[in-house]
């Protein structure tokens, strides 16, 4: 493969890192590097000095669907099947010749306080996922590879500048387990929140985890110690009322159980009025009994400030049946009943409307059909 001249990709880099490297290794002046970084992130400019070559992953598919608050857009971008070598920019033509992988992202509309429409961007941190949760479409693929910081930030850049959707929230609830790719997720968040560039507010970012305790500990340390990180939000995909059900649904629970998780999360450096979020995928006949609602409420009960105010909430997500699912989707009344049963204990509980069910863009439904097919063949061989 022909090697291009050494170039620098600003996508996954913070401002200081970009400027230092652009100056030392690529001969740019500080003002020229500063200008390129700002214009690329803030205006979406691509007419940059020749050595600055952003590796924006090309959009290969775009699907839209009408939701409650407007049009939901799922977009798919292509990344090379092996991560790119830093400083060696391939560019779109070379990328087209490579075997590529699909990265899925979803833009979910929200109508804000002043009636303005903004979007929550659901980003992927990996292609596939190693966590193998029984209800999750992505989990069926296995882990294909982790995304680089640039490939994560590229999803925001594309949503904002190519698709021109104003993104007000970023949630790591697309494909992958962020704690399984924590270094790159941290670097991506650092780039996204850099004031010289994208300047995305830390308080509007949510990292959602399956419950990898080692990762939660590391992230807590970063949030506690790194300047500018204290407002980062955490969500735990609880999905079960007790260890027995959780270990059945989520293999990770056999390593780190709910008691350990709760202990660690009680120590999470929550900031101000922000609440920890426990997501709960409601699956009929599995985790939706009245007794389960009581167990969930009891699990969340100790999350309080010293003066007794609640510091956690439960977000009930109606299960979207994955392909070949043994379980159905819950009916509207089943969801209502469960939400009310949890709320009866005084727990804060919200429910997510099912968004994007038909375009397979709902959380936990992101997967690449080609890869699934390949795996099926491998397994059958």
**Residues binding ligand SAH (CB under 6 A):** 135-136, 173, 177, 208-210, 237, 239, 279, 281, 317, 319-320, 322, 362-365
Q: Is the torsion defined by CA of 353, 357, 361, 364 positive or negative?
A: positive
Indicate the angle between helix axes 182-192 and 213-225, nearest 10 degrees.
Answer: 30
Q: CB nearer to ligand SAH: give 152 or 362.
A: 362
Kindly report the number of other CB atoms within 10 A of residue 238's CB atom. Answer: 26
Closest contact distance (angstroms) between CB of 261 and ligand SAH is 12
How far lies 48's CA from each of 7, 26, 33, 381, in Å? 12, 13, 9, 49
Q: CB nearer to ligand SAH: give 28 or 249.
A: 249
Asked if residue 323 lies in contact with residue 137, where contact means CB atoms within 8 angstroms, the answer is yes
From 89, 136, 277, 363, the catalytic residue:
363
Closest contact distance (angstroms) between CB of 106 and ligand SAH is 11
Residue nearest to ligand SAH (CB): 364
Q: CB nearer to ligand SAH: give 53 or 212.
A: 212
Contacts of 350 (CB under 8 A, 6+ apart): 313, 314, 315, 316, 339
Q: CB nearer to ligand SAH: give 311 or 320.
A: 320
Closest contact distance (angstroms) between CB of 338 and ligand SAH is 14
Closest contact distance (angstroms) between CB of 139 and ligand SAH is 8
Listed residue (186, 212, 206) closest to 131, CA to CA? 212
Is 363 catalytic? The answer is yes
Residue 274 CA to residue 284 CA, distance in Å, equals 30
Q: CB nearer to ligand SAH: give 160 or 365.
A: 365
Residue 140 CA to residue 226 CA, distance in Å, equals 36
Q: CB nearer to ligand SAH: give 158 or 208.
A: 208
Closest contact distance (angstroms) between CB of 130 and ligand SAH is 10
The 3-state DSSP class for residue 280 equals strand
How far lies 250's CA from each of 174, 175, 211, 311, 375, in Å? 17, 16, 10, 25, 20
Closest contact distance (angstroms) between CB of 320 and ligand SAH is 4
Pairing of strands 117-122, 126-128: unpaired
Active centre residues (catalytic): 363
């Amino acid at each position: 493969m022909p090697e291009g001249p050494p170039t620098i990709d600003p996508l996954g880099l913070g401002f200081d890192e970009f400027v230092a490297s652009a100056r030392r290794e690529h001969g740019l002046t500080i003002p020229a590097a500063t200008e390129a970084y700002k214009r690329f992130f803030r205006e979406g400019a691509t007419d940059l000095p020749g050595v600055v070559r952003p590796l924006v992953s090309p959009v290969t598919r775009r699907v839209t669907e009408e939701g409650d608050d407007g049009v939901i857009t799922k977009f798919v971008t292509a990344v090379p099947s092996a991560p790119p070598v830093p400083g060696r920019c391939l560019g779109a033509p070379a990328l087209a010749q490579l075997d590529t992988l699909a990265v899925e992202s979803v833009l979910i509309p929200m109508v804000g306080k002043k009636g303005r429409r903004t979007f929550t961007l659901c980003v992927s941190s990996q292609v596939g996922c190693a966590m193998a949760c029984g209800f999750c479409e992505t989990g069926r693929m296995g882990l294909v590879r982790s995304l680089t910081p640039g490939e994560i930030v590229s999803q925001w850049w594309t949503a904002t500048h190519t698709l021109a959707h104003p993104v007000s929230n970023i949630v790591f609830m697309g494909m992958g387990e962020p704690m399984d790719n924590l270094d790159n997720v941290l670097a991506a968040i650092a780039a996204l929140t850099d004031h010289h560039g994208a300047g995305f507010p830390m308080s509007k970012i949510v990292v959602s985890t399956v419950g990898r305790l080692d990762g939660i500990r590391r992230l807590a340390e970063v949030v506690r110690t790194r300047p500018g990180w204290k407002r980062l939000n955490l969500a735990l995909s609880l999905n079960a009322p007790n260890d027995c059900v959780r270990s059945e649904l989520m293999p990770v629970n056999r390593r780190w159980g709910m008691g350990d998780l709760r202990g660690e999360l009680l120590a999470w450096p929550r900031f101000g009025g922000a609440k920890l979020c426990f997501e709960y995928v409601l699956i009929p006949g599995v985790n939706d009994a009245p007794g389960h609602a009581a167990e969930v409420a009891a699990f969340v009960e100790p999350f309080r400030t010293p003066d007794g105010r609640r510091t956690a909430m439960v977000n009930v997500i109606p299960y979207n049946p994955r392909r070949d699912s043994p379980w159905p989707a819950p009916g509207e009344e089943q969801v209502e009943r469960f939400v009310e049963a949890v709320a009866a204990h005084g727990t804060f509980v919200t429910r997510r409307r099912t968004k994007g069910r038909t375009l397979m863009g709902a959380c936990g439904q992101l997967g690449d059909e080609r890869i699934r097919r390949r795996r099926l063949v491998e397994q059958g061989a």
